[in-house]
Chains A and B, each alone.
Chain A
Amino acid sequence: MPQSWDAKYFDGKSPQSMLVRLQLLPKGVMLHFMDGRSQHWKHESFSIVRDRESGPVRLLRGDFPQETVEIPDHSFAAILEQKGWSGKGWRTSWKQKSISVFAAIVLFSGILYWILDPEKPGITRWMVQWIPVSLEEQLGEMALTQLFPNRQTCSTPKGDRALETFMLSLIPRDDPYRYNIEIIRSPQVNALAFPGGKLVLFSGLLKSLPSPESLAGILAHEIQHVRLQHGTQNLMRQLAFSGMVKLMASDSGAFLEQMLEGAKTLAILNYSRSFETEADLGAAELLKQQGFSQDFLVQAFRAFENNKAVLDSAVPQYFSTHPDLNERIKNLENQNRSLESSGTGKILNPQSWKELKNICANVNSP
């Protein structure tokens, strides 16, 4: 094996290069110039760089101006590795690679588990409490506009007054959120809660409810989704997931970004089983706190249980994405038994209820 190599020397003061003969010494290198000069570089005085596997090895000395010696011969790199001299750009050993790959797999699995298992919302719940209410309001508004850009909102003066009375009696005075409910003309039997306090009720659901108490139960449930920041937690999960996908696609995912944008908005509303159960039980407590019967939500569930026309309809969306109805009724009844006797207050008088039910009378069918 040759112990000297042809190299190019740059003094760092001009771009002119000089041909040198580089000789490898036990603790450094010796440069022999064409004009007879020699320079000795101690091992600790220079760094070794090889930014490209098929490129030259560079020895760099000094900071500014920096002297550089370029050795294109690949056998020089092999000798350096034998001597145990390494530098930037050198390949990591198989052992180091295996450890990092194994650690990455473990971490990746852990993150995937956290992201994909919505039954364990501990970390996200801790994180979302730091998000200001105003930001949640903006998120909710954006999501609503994105999902229903051309919505027809129902409104009549009497219906709005009835709704305002309804909401005032349902929402605690110290609630940090400013609730804003919209009734959208649509045959969908559904109600939605967006981050920040935006609630949406479809006229299809309003029409199918038998009493204001059952509506109170449904809205109490949706209010709990807002108070417990379920939508915001979902969004945080989705952001973590899309961030990982972006990492995997090496930032070339403009196409993926578009796909993920839509998924993110829908993901806000995709509540897990545990979120639904939490909202159900929280709704019962809220109703009791406001002086109403905890059974309002159970009344709503029973009304739908018995209303085959609704369940058999083409759009039973409210219940199609929710846990089993019987299970929910059972959970609520168990909780209600353990709580003190509930209030017997009436949430809305019959006249106001009628006006509320007719709130979409002035809006044409879509």
Chain B
Amino acid sequence: MILLKCFQEDAHFKRIRDPLDQEPAKTPEKIPAENLQQEWFLEFLGQGRELFRIYLVNFWLKLLTLGFYHPWAKARLFRYLYASTRLYDTDFQFHGNGRELFTGWVKALLALILLEGFHQIVAELIRQRGIDSEPGVSGGHEWSFWLDTANLVFYLFLFFLFFMIALVGVRRYRLSRTSWRGIRFRFDGTLVEISKLMIRGWAITLISLGLLYPLHRHRFQEYWVSRTRFGSSRFYYEGTPSELFPIWIRGFLLSLISVGVYSFWLRAGLQRYFWSRTRLEQAQLACNLHGWPLFRESMIYVFFLIFSCGFARPWADERYNRFYLSQFGFVQAPDLEAVIQTASVESGSTGEGVSSLLDLEF
């Protein structure tokens, strides 16, 4: 209770020393409390006991159906979580359903089985011809080593492809099924564009041994945000790599020195930066997330899980979501009169299926 009281007071945050607060004040990252319109910040209204009921029913039905109920369980949970998230005076709504998620899951499973089967057949053919993959061993052939290598590279390429499908697919599906005040969100990014961006970004990061990662991160954020729509309104990202670089470098080095503990401050700093450089048309977004509360709440969440062997997860989720979502919102109210519904972008759920199968959480 004392902890809960503490983080409700903005004054408490100001007393905590955070090196990222010493950034040049060109565009302030830390918004004074009196300028925030609290009603335009997200609010989580979910309750632990309601979440517990959902988790329990989902668990038993998944067991009863040997896991086939998973897509419906996911849809049910999403519907609840979205409906428990309020902005201003209206809750969000999730329009997806279990049938769509199941279809996507089946498509993803078929694709994975086909590709894994192909990979295994190739490996089996190589083996059955009696080719030893280790060069130099008596009876072996060196070219089989290259065959095995080509097979491995193909396998890795497929995994990369699936990862990209999941990354884009999840965002496109979830945004297309999300509405606020009846208006749907949308993501216009494409698989090809994202793949090119990621390959370039990973290459730059690898070559520079991580030093140029902020450049990749900036490009990714710019693409990710600028392709997101709320009805006819667009999101804009106005950050620059030069502003991001010192935040990243300082956070990264301190995280290394602190064996990862400072990563919470880095994450909070990045979120504050990204949100402060994002707007929905003319409405500036805001984030008041700081390192220490994030660290504290994350540790409390983990302790909840460990000491209850996972059974207290609903209450841990309630607490954490209530804290986390309340840090994000708008500096000023967006102009709702200018927003209109636009034509829906049909989005399949194969990306969701892939992310479920590969256990990727975005």
Q: Which residues of A contact B (CB under 8 A)?
A: 8, 10-17, 51-56, 58, 64-68, 70, 88-89, 92, 100-101, 103-104, 107-108, 111, 132-135, 137, 178, 243-244, 247-250, 252-253, 255
Contact = CB atoms under 8 A, between A and B. Distances in A.
B55 A250 contact: yes
Contacts of A52: 45-46, 50, 80, 83-84, 91
B134 to A, nearest CB: 12
Interface of B: 45-47, 50, 55, 57-64, 67, 79-80, 82-84, 90-91, 93-95, 120, 123-124, 127, 179-184, 231, 305-306, 309-310, 313, 336-337, 339-341, 344
Given A51-B93, A252-B310, A14 B64 contact: no
A249 to B, nearest CB: 4
Contact of B341 (A14, A103, A108, A133): A14
Contacts of B179: 66
A64 B176 CA distance: 12
A15 B59 contact: no
Contact of A247 (B50, B63, B79, B120): B63
B127 A133 contact: yes
Contacts of A133: 124, 127
A55 B181 contact: no
A249 B63 CA distance: 12
A104 B64 contact: yes
B63 A104 contact: yes
Contacts of B46: 52
A309 to B, nearest CB: 39
A12 B343 CA distance: 11
Contact of B64 (A56, A107, A252): A107
A64 B305 CA distance: 41
Contacts of A104: 60-61, 63-64
A250 B84 contact: no
A258 to B, nearest CB: 13
Contacts of B344: 64
Given A65-B341, A66-B182, A88-B79, A15 B336 contact: yes
Contacts of A248: 59, 310
B82 A51 contact: yes
A322 B120 CA distance: 35
A108 B120 contact: no
26 contacts: A14-B182, A14-B231, A14-B340, A15-B181, A15-B182, A17-B181, A51-B82, A51-B93, A52-B80, A55-B91, A58-B93, A66-B95, A67-B182, A89-B79, A100-B64, A103-B64, A104-B64, A107-B64, A111-B63, A133-B124, A244-B63, A247-B59, A248-B59, A249-B310, A252-B313, A255-B306
Nearest to A135: B120
A51 B182 contact: no
A54 B310 CA distance: 25
Contacts, number: 111
Given A11-B182, A104-B63, A134 B124 contact: yes
Contacts of A255: 306
Contacts of A56: 91
A204 to B, nearest CB: 28
B50 A100 contact: no
B60 A100 contact: yes
Nearest to A17: B181
6 smallest A-B Cβ distances: which pairs? A51-B83, A10-B182, A15-B181, A249-B310, A104-B60, A51-B79
Most buried by B among A70, A101, A134, A243: A134
Contacts of B93: 51, 58, 68
A321 to B, nearest CB: 29
Contacts of B181: 10, 15-17
A255 B313 CA distance: 14
Given A51-B80, A134-B123, A68 B309 contact: no
B127 A12 contact: no
A12 B183 CA distance: 6
Contact of A250 (B45, B91, B127, B310): B310
Given A15-B339, A17-B90, A51-B80, 19 more contacts: A10-B181, A13-B182, A14-B337, A14-B341, A15-B181, A52-B46, A54-B47, A55-B84, A65-B341, A66-B179, A66-B182, A67-B182, A103-B64, A104-B61, A244-B63, A247-B59, A247-B62, A250-B59, A250-B313
Given A13-B340, A15-B231, A101-B60, A247 B310 contact: no
Contacts of B50: 52-54
Contact of B67 (A15, A100, A101, A247): A247
Nearest to A131: B120
A67 B93 CA distance: 13
Nearest to B340: A14
A277 B16 CA distance: 68
A101 B57 CA distance: 9
Contacts of A249: 309-310
A51 B344 CA distance: 23
B153 to A, nearest CB: 17
A271 B229 CA distance: 58
